Amino acid sequence: MDAIRRPNVENLVTQNNFKLRVMAYRKLTQAELYHAAAVYLKAKKRSSFPMNGCDTIETIIGFDGR
């Protein structure tokens, strides 16, 4: 059985000097990016993004099962 490949399309959310890299299987729409950012904030138990820095998350959005 083959391994599932990792997401390879980089989508970027920027606020102030903070960059959130959202790795997905395709280019995400603005609504999908907002959703990914909200999931990131909830997972980190934050109400807003840090003032600077960067972080990366992966999503299964766009995964076609192959």
Long-range contacts formed by 29-35: CB under 8 A, 24+ apart:
32/61
pLDDT at 4: 82
Q: What mean pLDDT do residues 50-65 have?
A: 93
**What does the pLDDT look like over 37-51, one tens digit per residue?**
999 999 999 999 999
> What integer best gives the mean pLDDT of the chain?
93
Element (H, E) at 33: helix 30-43
Report the relative pairing of strands 17-24 and 52-58 from DSSP bridges. parallel
Q: Tokens for 24? A: 């997905």
Q: Is the whole-model pTM more than 0.85?
A: yes
Contact by Cβ (8 Å): 44, 5: no
pLDDT band at 2 (very low <50, low <70, confident <90, very high): low
